[in-house]
Chains A and B, each alone.
Chain A
Amino acid sequence: MKFKWPENKQEQTKYIALIAIMAIVVIVVLVMFVINPFRKAKADNLTALLDLKAKIENAQREIDKKPLEMKRNTEMLNKILQASDAYMLKPVLGRNYLLGATPIIEKHVKALSLTLVKPPTEVGIGDVILPQTVRKGSPLPTVKTYTARVNLKCSYANVVRLVRAIESENPYVTIAGISIVGAPLVDPENHTVTFDIQWPIWADEETAASVRQQLKKSSEEEEAEAKAQDTKETATNEKKP
């Protein structure tokens, strides 16, 4: 069927109006159901895209801090290990801390030509922070206290010398108690001296080994990271004209 444009002007106006209505309907339908959904999907995508882009940029900034974090971690591990090796009391033959403490005490006593009334005795292991008082989510305390008791008969001046020797050798050690009782009628020069020496010990004996292992791994990773960085820099320099 061939469409014939009407000759009558009134008919023409009707046709034009009808075509206009149909065109508007088609345009509205197309905009509503085709163009707009695509635009909305694109806008949503764009928002997600910008979010993801920002997330990646932030992540990259964090990743760039890796060498610094590695350095900080290695530094901490080094300091912990140094303090552990030099100043913390280590158990001997299993969990015997007294065997570790006795030679330290005897060394100082001998150096001052003093004599112990009896060998050092164990007061015990204690907590600095009670595990049950640790807040949820906070790390458990890693250090405990070990206290040994020393009994001597010596002058006041010698007590001062002995305490000085012990304290200057180890800044982490604490004299947790002293008792100096004089017997002026029996022996005015020498007093009955008892004092407690307190050392820090690891709550978990494996901590030192674990720190050592962490340090080794951390140093290796730091070295690898530095090498990777060098390679990257060399490649960038070669690309430049």
Chain B
Amino acid sequence: MNLRVDLILESEQRSASVVSLKFVLRLVAIVVPTVLVLLILWAVTSFISAKNQMRNLEEAWKITEPRLNAVAELRGKATLNQAMFKELEGWKKTHVDWNQHLQVIQRIFPKDLQLSSLTLTHVIQATPKQGMARQFALLLKGTAFGDTADQNVQKLRRTIQKSAPFTNILEEVEVKQFEADPQNRNNRLFQIECRYQPRLFQ
């Protein structure tokens, strides 16, 4: 039978482990502040680095901004000049070769009709949604003779509508007047109006 007598008080007992509580506490006391200091250092240095990068970029922007403004100014000027050129080109677009129209009228005009006057009028006006345009109208006044007067006038109206320079450019051809000539009741006075499609400046 073995008897074990413990003569050491509980407060006097020591741990036999290599890692003592004191050691752990010391380790924590060193490691935690070190990690904290490192964290703070990392935060500060990365902040300073970002700040420096920002300063460098701000310097670069100071150089870039006036150059960018110069390009924007140049683009503005080019756009204005383009608008000016477009405005001028509008004149070319609204141009009608009247010599061709006059020549064709002379060619297609029937011998049974007599042209007494030709009037071309023109106004510049705003068209809905499409901007400014030239609006031309051609008025042919004349006299028709004989029994076929009405047919001849209608034939001329149709020929104008179908003839080459007029086909895609005319809006409407209308006989505006057809009545007896007060000086000779056998003859008929007629008026044919050719309304042109608006010639847009843009």
Contact = CB atoms under 8 A, between A and B. Distances in A.
B129 interface: no
Interface string B49-60: 011011001101
A23 interface: yes
A114 interface: no
Contacts of B85: 76, 79-80, 83
Size class of the contact patch on chain A? 35 or more
A218 to B, nearest CB: 8
A49 B50 CA distance: 8
A52 interface: yes
Interface residues of B, number: 66
A178 B97 CA distance: 13
Given A77-B81, A184-B114, A45 B51 contact: yes
Q: What does DSSP make chain A's interface, helix, strand, loop or mixed?
A: helix
Contacts of A88: 88
Given A80-B81, A180-B118, A63 B95 contact: no
B163 interface: no
B17 to A, nearest CB: 15
B81 A178 contact: no
Contact of B25 (A19, A133, A164): A19
A42 B116 contact: no
B62 to A, nearest CB: 11
Interface of A: 5, 7-8, 12, 16, 19, 23, 26-27, 30, 34-35, 38-39, 41-42, 45-46, 48-49, 52-53, 55-56, 59-60, 62-63, 65-66, 69-70, 72-73, 76-77, 79-80, 83-84, 88, 126, 128-129, 133, 139, 141-143, 145, 156-157, 159-161, 163-164, 167-168, 171-182, 184, 195, 200, 211, 214
Given A76-B81, A172-B91, 13 more contacts: A42-B47, A48-B54, A55-B61, A56-B61, A72-B78, A80-B81, A145-B124, A168-B99, A174-B91, A174-B95, A177-B120, A179-B119, A180-B117
5 contacts: A38-B40, A49-B57, A59-B61, A70-B74, A129-B132
Interface of B: 11, 21-22, 25, 28, 32, 36, 39-40, 43-44, 46-47, 50-51, 53-54, 57-58, 60-61, 64-65, 67-68, 70-72, 74-75, 77-78, 80-85, 87-88, 90-92, 94-99, 102-103, 106, 114-122, 124, 126, 132, 134, 201
